Amino acid sequence: MSGTTVLDSLSLRADFPILAQEMHGKPLAYLDSAASSQRPRQVVEAMDQFYQARYANIHRGVYVLSEEATAAYEQARSKVAAFINAPSPRSVIFTRNTTEAINLVAYSWGRDNIGAGDRIIATEMEHHSNLVPWQMLAQATGAELAFIPITDEGYLDLDALDGLLQENVKLVTFAHVSNVLGTVNPVEEVIARVRKLAPQAKVLVDTAQGVPHLPVDVTAWDCDFLAFSGHKMCGPTGVGVLYGRQELLDSMPPFLTGGGMIRRVELTHSTWDEVPARFEAGTPAIVEAVGLGAAVDYLNAVGIEAIAAHERELAAYALERMSAVPGVHIVGPPAEHRCGLVSFTVDRVHPHDMAQILDWEGVAVRAGHHCAQPLHRKLGLTATTRASFYLYTLKEEVDRLVAGIEKAIRQFS
């Protein structure tokens, strides 16, 4: 069935020519947007036009082209700031991706503010990008790592969080949306508990899987840091974002050093530029930032609330259809608490075999641990197959996913 949803995805697909292809002689059903979304021609064209007519290095030339390129880069920063309701574009730093944004905080803020005996709280559902940097920091400083456990239904156990929130807690970090369970975590509720029980702690939200799909408001959330990637939200690869509370960023030393981030350099020492330049050493991803600005324009034009509603509908439909197939086991919560993402296992079919068979049907999904090994261990699994949706996903693609799963089950029975 190609039933309509709140979003006219069929029309939107005209903006994504990459989707109008066949794979193995079947129409491509791209169900791997959680790994990386596709990008609309508006984004590709904005980058193409910038390269062809507007490109120069930024923040250095006195000539018109460089001044215009600088203005375009800074305009992209303003668009991103408005998109997440940041109080000022100065609190938005362009990084390479979520991973680099989190590492920036771990190295710059972390090494200055975390010491032996301090506690860093993360969760059992984190992507390795929001886990390994804290392991490195804990090992370097003697700090302790603690984890908010997950319940059997795939929610954060908030009562357990309360018990962890003691006076040595310096940082609480968690995913807005799990890239495996699809759980949408109650960001404001978590932050309220942290503020009440451990007011000294800072909060970092990894919204790599959130901001492409759901409204994000750093001012309403009152978070200290927020990290995300351009390539999961219709933007290009190579650009990501760290939002930070202004006074925190202003107090932090640089992460990477070199050109573009200094005020004065002597042979033996230097002083730093203001934020955000302080954290953007070297020539940044100029064209990618402009592309991210165009992606934000695109998402605003479609409407993030409409995208969220569309995905909720697809998730509900996928859960209903998939759970009716004998032998299919879905991980994570019901549709009302998840994004458009469904990870599953199937009796007697290895997740990689499932992904391979689905590929032969033209259905592109991801299989493996999705960079969340501890979470898979907790679930008692080594791998899952994951289908993830976006604004261009059609209900009939969910039907094709289900048909592919049924075919794989027949082949392996």
Binding-site member from 123, 130, 173, 343 for ligand 7TS (CB under 6 A): 130
Contact 108, 218 (CB under 8 A): no
Would you state the structure tokens that stand for residue 228, as one six-digit string? 């995300």
Asked if 170 and 201 touch (Cβ cutoff 8 Å), the reply is yes
CB of residue 100 to ligand 7TS, shortest distance in Å: 7
Q: How far is the CB of 245 from ligand 7TS (least distance, A)?
A: 20
- Would you say 342 or 409 has its CB closer to ligand 7TS? 342
- Please select the residue that binds ligand 7TS; options are 39, 59, 119, 127, rule is CB under 6 A: 127
CB of 205 to ligand 7TS, least distance (A): 10
State residue 103 phi and psi, 5-degree precision.
-60, -35
Distance CA 220, CA 148 (A): 23
234 given a catalytic annotation: no
Q: Among candidates 383, 69, 99, which has minimal Cα distance to 237?
A: 99
**Which residues within the stretch 355-384 sit at the binding site for ligand 7TS (CB under 6 A)?**
366, 370-371
Q: Which is nearer to ligand 7TS, 287 or 367 (CB)?
A: 367
- Does 35 help bind ligand 7TS (rule: CB under 6 A)? yes
Fill in the amino acid letter for 57.
N
Restricted to residues 147-186, the positions that interact with ligand 7TS (CB under 6 A) are: 175, 179
Rank residues 401 and 409 by Cβ distance to ligand 7TS and give the closer one. Answer: 401
Q: How many residues bind ligand 7TS (CB under 6 A)?
A: 17
Min CB(126)–ligand 7TS separation in Å: 7
Cα–Cα distance, 259 to 60 (Å, whole number): 11
Q: Report the residue from 209, 343, 384, 393 that binds ligand 7TS according to the rule CB under 6 A.
A: 209
- List the one residue from 5, 129, 141, 183 that touches ligand 7TS (CB under 6 A): 129
Q: What are phi and psi of 238, to 5 degrees?
A: 90, 0
Q: Where would I find the beta strands (DSSP E) of 74-168?
A: 92-95, 119-123, 144-148
Q: Report the residue number, 35 or 160, with the smaller CB distance to ligand 7TS.
A: 35
Kindly identify the residues of this chain, within the stretch 313-342, that bind ligand 7TS according to CB under 6 A: none
Q: Is position 39 an interface residue for ligand 7TS (rule: CB under 6 A)?
A: no
Separation of alpha carbons 127 and 232, rounded Å = 15
Catalytic one among 223, 234, 339, 371? 371
Give the nearer residue to ligand 7TS in terms of CB position, either 99 or 345. Answer: 99
- Tokens linked to 138: 């804990």
d(CA 248, CA 398) in angstroms, rounded, equals 44
- CB atoms closer than 10 angstroms to residue 267: 5
> Min. distance of Cβ 177 from ligand 7TS in angstroms?
7
Rounded Cα distance between 277 and 294, Å, is 22
Please report how close the Cβ of residue 229 comes to ligand 7TS at its closest, in angstroms.
3
120: Cβ–Cβ under 8 A, 6 or more apart, which residues?
A: 114, 134, 137, 138, 143, 144, 145, 146, 169, 170, 171, 173
On whether the CB atoms of residues 334 and 319 are closer than 8 A, the answer is yes
Minimum Å distance from CB 133 to ligand 7TS?
11
Of positions 124, 206, 273, 311, contacts ligand 7TS by CB under 6 A: 206
Return d(Cα 154, Cα 209) in angstroms, integer: 16
Among the listed residues 161, 208, 223, 285, the single contact to ligand 7TS using CB under 6 A: 208
Residue-by-residue DSSP string for 259-300: TTSEEEE-SS-EEEPPTTGGG--SS--HHHHHHHHHHHHHHH
Smallest separation (angstroms) from ligand 7TS to the CB of 404: 20
Among 9, 99, 141, 345, interactor with ligand 7TS by CB under 6 A: 99
Q: Please list every residue from 59 through 98 that binds ligand 7TS, using CB under 6 A.
A: 97-98
Strands 341-346 and 328-331: antiparallel
Whichever of 99 and 384 has its CB closer to ligand 7TS, that residue is: 99
**Omega cis (within 30) before 276:** yes
Smaller CB separation from ligand 7TS, 118 or 206 = 206
- Pair type for strands 119-123 and 92-95: unpaired
- Which residues are catalytic, by number? 371
Residues that bind ligand 7TS (CB under 6 A): 34-35, 97-99, 127, 129-130, 175, 179, 206, 208-209, 229, 366, 370-371
